Structure 1
Amino acid sequence: MIFRNDNLKSNHIVNKLKKYVENTFVNQIMSKNVLTVKVSETLEEVAKKMKEENVGCVIVVDKIATLGIVTERDFVTKIVAERKTPHTKIFEVMSSPLITIKSESTIWEAAEIMKEKSIHKLPVIEDEEIVGIITTTDIVRISSVGSDSQMRKICDQILMRMKDD
């Protein structure tokens, strides 16, 4: 990402943001509200659960393993666009293998993975168990906390660029 640094204040803000994302850990900002669904569930069942729980994605599991992820975006790109029926099994549209990050990783590392893999939601693991999820929105939102309006504007620009990718 390239920022125009028109003055010293802009340089200071960019450096402050970079330092922040390099020194803040995933487990500090992740959401612990992770919804898991069984591999045998249908799209209709999963959509209802996502609405009830107000979540943007689900983790697909079977009896012994975590298999994949389905996001709101998948409902548009893989389900509606491909005209899947409500009775289609969730495993048919899940993204797999599941890309994860360790809870003690930095949000900088999380952002790098998201950018490299072109994803916006990243399950967080501890001891091979999913303990949370971090999103591009989480990273930018937490980075923009504070009174500096110029820093908030930069964070908003970052979020818009990440969403466009």
Structure 2
Amino acid sequence: MLRKRVTEVMTEAPVDTIERGLTIDLAARVMKERARGALVVVDGGKPVGIITERDLVRRIIAEKRSTGTKVGDIMSEPLISVGPEATVSSAATVMYKNGIRRLPVIENDRLLGMVTATDLARALQRESQKDEVLLAMGRFKMIEELNK
């Protein structure tokens, strides 16, 4: 499973984005309406940063800044991302080392998708379930052979 490419486990595009010149108020509404914890920030369609619910709390609410603040003023940048050839293992390492839970997958300045900690956990769970089924099938086959 860890050798799989991130493209096999990621949430594919369209990933929700917001232009860097728009306001935090709009970003918060988009996050709420689309049930998203983060938006990739774009500049003319090119991914340049990310804004998360955590950013809103730390950089707007805690600092008592206006919701009219521009997304580009508080986004996390540079955007930490991986390419489509990255393995699940390397993506997990990038996420761990940078303390992030969302990792955009980008190729040639184009957003292909987003891999999240939840995506990785689901993939691990599916792999674990497959292993359990195969193990059970192997045991069944051994019992069958012994009963012959």
- 1:79-125 Cα distance to aligned partner (Å, 9 max, x none): 22212221111111100111110112111000100111111111001
Alpha-carbon spacing, 1:44–1:119, altered in 2? closer, same or farther (3 Å): same
Larger Rg: 2
Structure 2: where are the runs of 5+ without partners? 133-148
Query: TM-score, with normalisation over the residues of structure 2?
Result: 0.79
Report the RMSD for the aligned CA atoms in angstroms. Answer: 1.6
Alpha-carbon distance, 1:128 to partner: 2.7
- 1:28 alignment counterpart: 8
Distance 1:68 1:27 in 2: 20
- 1:48-85 Cα distance to aligned partner (Å, 9 max, x none): 11122222211111226322100122122222221222
Distance 2:86 2:51 in 1: 23
> Aligned to 2:26, which of 13, 29, 45?
45
Query: TM-score, with normalisation over the residues of structure 1?
Result: 0.71
Within a 5 Å distance, the mapping from 1:52-71 to structure 2 comes to 52-63=33-44, 65-71=46-52
Structure 1: where are the runs of 5+ without partners? 1-19, 149-165
Residue pair 2:15, 2:114 contacting (<8 A) in 1 also: yes
> Aligned to 1:74, which of 46, 55, 68?
55
Q: 2:101 matched to 1:120?
A: yes
Instruction: Compare relative contact order (CA 8 Å, sep 6+) and give the higher one, 1 or 2.
Output: 2
Distance 1:122 1:92 in 2: 20
Q: Secondary structure at the match of 2:11?
A: coil
- 1:105 alignment counterpart: 86
Question: Which residue type is aligned with residue 109 of structure 1?
Answer: S
Distance 2:68 2:37 in 1: 20
Percent identity, aligned pairs only, is 36
Aligned length, in residue pairs: 128
